[in-house]
Amino acid sequence: SIKDNSQISYAFYEESMRVALILENEIENRMEKALASGEFEVYLQPKYLFSDEQIIGAEALVRWNDPERGMLPPNEFIPLFEKNGFVKKIDTYMFEAVCKLLAKWQKEMDQLTNMIISVNFSRLHLENMLLPEELLAITNRYQIDPKMIEIELTEGTIFNNDVQMVEIMNHLKDFGFHISIDDFGRAYSSLNTLKNLPADILKLDKAFFSESTDNARGEKIITSMLNMAKDLDLITVAEGVETREQVEFLKEKGCDIAQGFFYAKPMNVFEFEDLVKEKLKSA
Ligand code: C2E
Ligand code: MG
Ligand code: MG
Ligand code: MG
């Protein structure tokens, strides 16, 4: 009967909730140790200039190299870490790892000295007024110019009427860090919200490109966003570029930078270093 069925599905629901909670508990018990023992790794996804297809930098994306479960993508742990606050430690760890890397490139690898690397920062950091000073202290320790680093903040979590948030962003900018608005268009694509934000880079969400090139309205939206971004002096990055057609279209419409599987997937640091060196050799 219907009643029996709903009881069964409720039992299933309860059971899967229980399993999910046990899993969350297990992860929470292990995350500190995992961080201390270096299980979190920096992956880099190259960014290319549309104009000449040169690699100008990369986005740092976290991976959890779990000895038992293998290489885990961020969607399997970042949402939980956002809930319990651990994401702040992960982000800071990634930031420091990137500084270390940039310092190494400055000392040992001529070809990689002009790279700009972006790091994702959860909105939880934007409650910490000391964030800019804390990050500057890290760049100073590694003797890195903040101009080599871009802080990615996700659109849906930034509010231009939040005085404290805007002040933190202003300080970051004053220190020389680049600031980008990530996943732009996913939450509420209003460039008006950017009016008072000190961002200098706009990353258009990959959802825009999923079906846009064969869709006239989608094309118009992208075109007008690129035009408005240019009026606001924002550099534009297209995320999730997967096809030749998307590349042709975005290039023609004046988008500045491409990041997507069409060019390259996220890769480990050594693969990235080799890719840049190879590319310069063949140029
Ligand atoms: P995001 O910051 O928007 O990063 C871009 C995501 O899009 C990456 O997924 C990347 O692999 C994926 N991507 C890039 N090009 C393509 C493409 O052409 N097609 C498709 N289908 N996907 C593409 P990833 O590495 O799984 O990261 C997912 C999200 O996890 C990130 O989205 C970001 O919000 C979060 N994340 C990753 N690393 C960190 C971190 O260190 N700190 C924080 N707070 N969040 C992070
Ligand atoms: Mg990002
Ligand atoms: Mg994001
Ligand atoms: Mg994004």
Its ipTM equals: 0.97
Q: What is the pLDDT of residue 214?
A: 57
CA 152 – ligand 2 centroid, Å: 6
Q: What is the pLDDT of residue 250?
A: 96
- pLDDT (tens digit, 0 to 9) for every residue of the chain, 283 residues total? 556 677 777 777 788 888 788 888 888 889 999 999 999 999 999 999 999 999 999 999 999 999 988 999 999 999 999 999 999 999 999 999 999 999 999 999 988 999 999 999 999 999 999 999 999 999 999 999 999 999 999 887 777 778 899 999 999 999 999 999 999 888 765 667 777 788 999 999 888 877 645 578 888 888 988 999 999 899 999 999 999 999 999 999 999 999 999 999 999 999 999 999 998 888 7
Q: Which residues of 208-236 are buried (b: 16+ CB within 10 A; e: fewer)?
A: bbeebbeeeeeeeebbebbeebbeeebbb
Closest atom of ligand 1 to 81 CA is: 44
Closest atom of ligand 1 to 74 CA is: 30
Partners of 71 in beta bridges: 65
Task: List pocket residues of ligand 1, CB cut-off 6 Å.
Answer: 45, 61-62, 73-75, 78, 87, 90-91, 94, 120, 122, 152, 182-183, 206, 239-242, 259-261, 266
Q: What is the pLDDT of residue 207?
A: 84
From 226, 156, 160, 233, select the one nearest 197 (Cα to Cα): 160
Residue 106: how many CB atoms within 10 A of its CB?
16
CA 213 – ligand 2 centroid, Å: 23
Beta-sheet pairing, 178-184 with 116-121: unpaired
Overall pTM > 0.90: yes
Q: What is the pLDDT of residue 130?
A: 97
CA 183 – ligand 4 centroid, Å: 4
Give the chain's length.
Answer: 283
Q: What is the pLDDT of residue 9?
A: 77
Q: Which residues of 121-160 are buried (b: 16+ CB within 10 A; e: fewer)?
A: bbbebbeeeebbeebbebbeeeebebebbbbbbbbebbee
